[in-house]
Chains A and B, each alone.
Chain A
Amino acid sequence: MLDKKQLKKEQIIQTALELFASKGFYSTTIPDIALSLKMSVGNMYNYFKSKDTLAIEIIKYISAYLGEKLKEINEQEISTKEKTRKIVEIYFKTASLKPEMIDYFLRIYLSNREVFKESCEGMLCVNEFVTEIMIYFEEGVKCGDLREQDFFSAFGLFMGYLGGMVFLKGENVLPKDLNDYVDDITFNIYKALSAE
């Protein structure tokens, strides 16, 4: 069971995520977040020492959340193609249900590197998520479904495509619902990575 402090932390993370998404990272202050939660600013600092610490905790939280979902997919006895589809689905589902999460990843984590430089070197803060993507690739190559290649070129292809679609959706330029693209996108990604 999550203890009280952990629960409160998650509430703060969720609220901060929503505010960052609507007002932007730099214009949202700790007092704004405290106000939204009806907490005192002093009490807020008991949970997160600074906005930067909060920012780092948020990206770790998102990585753990997505990592857990991917782990469930990786542990199923299904073909790499089916796994690919499930990963696309879960990513889009998260983007629809918790748009602020994916938004945070794309707009804040990837574009404000200075905030994350200190304790998030390399892939440290998104480790859980990246590890599961690695396992998806590794198992795909091992069973002969996917082509052996440099990890980052494969990773960039996969995540760049998904991120790009969510970004387009966020900008309201996609004519259809995200979920309507799952088949096509799965096909394209799989075709690009596959060994055939």
Chain B
Amino acid sequence: MKKKMRVLWLSAIACNGNTHSFLNYPYMEQFLDDFEFIYHPVIDSEYSLEDIVSKEITCDILLIEGAISKEFKRADVSVVDIIEKYSKIVQKIVTVGTCATFGGIFRESGYEETSGLHFDKEEPLKTHKDLLDKTISVSGCPVHPEVLVNTLYAIKKSAALKLDNFLRPKEFYAYTVHNGCTRNEYFEYKVDNHRFGELEGCMFYDHGCQAPFTHGSCNKILWNEVNSKTRAGVPCMGCTEPTFPRQNLFSTKKNMAIPENLPVGVGKRVYLTLAGISKAFKIDRLEKKLIDD
């Protein structure tokens, strides 16, 4: 029998959303042929949480889900101590989801100095610096199951993953979510007559779509292999970014009608000039409904 990689899934301050997302991975059987959980909060595993904290069980990859705080305990042991113990023996650490990576929604609650493993929002932390070389971050609220699984396979195959400044594999996080959205044509011509759930219109101008400055593969690797938020007609909320969650997710912050956040790498002057030009076009096809008119 080929050797399975041994994985510890440690839940810190979490809602288990990443676990739920992971359970939707369509090829789970295959995955469990190649990896085994020495412990997982909802999947049957060989050891109990007590075993994990009291003994030192051999393990190849440590997955951390949820935000981290010294004060937070699992089986009566601080999660930071559990992380430190296992980080010494594993090959790689993966921060799964935005909470484990940046602090996410739990950091916002203000519980006892909560943050991600290496970042407090965008701020790099001084703690756990010795683990930087081992860590890969797969952010997202929740993480896309294929991004997680494919990262684990890359580790298994010892493939060299190029990481961005937040330790995220560029393979999945170098694009923006805007890339591959079916509404790009509406964005180009500044047609914003969007209504939630309809096929027409771009959500950048009025409905808070953060995809043009959010790094992720959501429109390239579809959710449940069929869809994405923006394709379905709901704005991207920027869940893979250190700034997540921000307030008023369904409205676009504007200053005198100009969106405050512009697409990555586009200067304000250039954006306004281009927008001015494209606004001059009136394309009937894009102003109308596509179906059921």
Residue of B whose beta carbon sits closest to that of A141: B255
B276 A130 Cβ-Cβ under 8 A: yes
Residue of A whose beta carbon sits closest to that of B272: A131
Residue of A whose beta carbon sits closest to that of B259: A138
* Least CB distance, B176 to chain A, in whole angstroms: 22
- Across-interface contacts of A150 in B (CB, < 8 A): 257
- Across-interface contacts of B279 in A (CB, < 8 A): 122-123
B273 A121 Cβ-Cβ under 8 A: no
B257 A135 Cβ-Cβ under 8 A: no
Given known contacts A121-B280, A124-B277, is B255 in contact with A131 (CB within 8 Å)?
Answer: no
A123 B276 Cβ-Cβ under 8 A: yes
- Across-interface contacts of B255 in A (CB, < 8 A): 137-142, 148
B256 A140 Cβ-Cβ under 8 A: yes
A151 to B258, CA, bound (A): 8
Is A90 interfacial (CB 8 A cutoff)?
Answer: no
Partner of B256, one of A123, A124, A138: A138
Interface size on B, residues (CB 8 A): 15
Is A28 interfacial (CB 8 A cutoff)?
Answer: no
* Least CB distance, A133 to chain B, in whole angstroms: 10
* Total A-B Cβ pairs within 8 A: 50
Is B268 interfacial (CB 8 A cutoff)?
Answer: yes
- Across-interface contacts of B260 in A (CB, < 8 A): 142
A135 B269 Cβ-Cβ under 8 A: yes
B256 A137 Cβ-Cβ under 8 A: yes
Is A154 interfacial (CB 8 A cutoff)?
Answer: yes
- Across-interface contacts of B277 in A (CB, < 8 A): 124, 127
Residue of B whose beta carbon sits closest to that of A155: B256
* Least CB distance, A126 to chain B, in whole angstroms: 9
- Across-interface contacts of A127 in B (CB, < 8 A): 273, 276-277
B280 A134 Cβ-Cβ under 8 A: no
- Across-interface contacts of A121 in B (CB, < 8 A): 280-281
Is B254 interfacial (CB 8 A cutoff)?
Answer: yes
- Across-interface contacts of A46 in B (CB, < 8 A): none
A151 B280 Cβ-Cβ under 8 A: no
A130 to B279, CA, bound (A): 13
Interface residues of A in 66-119 (CB under 8 A from B): none
- 1/0 contact string of A130-166 vs chain B (CB within 8 Å): 1100110111111000101111001000000000000
A122 to B254, CA, bound (A): 21
Interface residues of B in 269-293 (CB under 8 A from A): 269, 272-273, 276-277, 279-281
- Across-interface contacts of B276 in A (CB, < 8 A): 122-124, 127, 130-131
* Least CB distance, B206 to chain A, in whole angstroms: 13
* Least CB distance, A76 to chain B, in whole angstroms: 15
B273 A154 Cβ-Cβ under 8 A: no
A130 to B269, CA, bound (A): 11
A123 B258 Cβ-Cβ under 8 A: no
Interface residues of A in 156-187 (CB under 8 A from B): none
B254 A134 Cβ-Cβ under 8 A: no
- Across-interface contacts of A139 in B (CB, < 8 A): 255
A131 to B276, CA, bound (A): 8
- Across-interface contacts of B256 in A (CB, < 8 A): 134, 137-138, 140-141, 146, 148-149, 151, 154
Given known contacts A127-B273, A134-B272, is B280 in contact with A122 (CB within 8 Å)?
Answer: yes
Given known contacts A137-B255, A142-B255, A146-B256, is B269 in contact with A131 (CB within 8 Å)?
Answer: yes
Given contacts A131-B269, A137-B255, 4 further A-B contacts (CB under 8 A): A122-B276, A123-B280, A131-B272, A150-B257
10 CB-based A-B contacts, threshold 8 Å: A121-B280, A123-B276, A124-B276, A124-B280, A135-B269, A135-B272, A137-B256, A138-B258, A142-B255, A146-B256
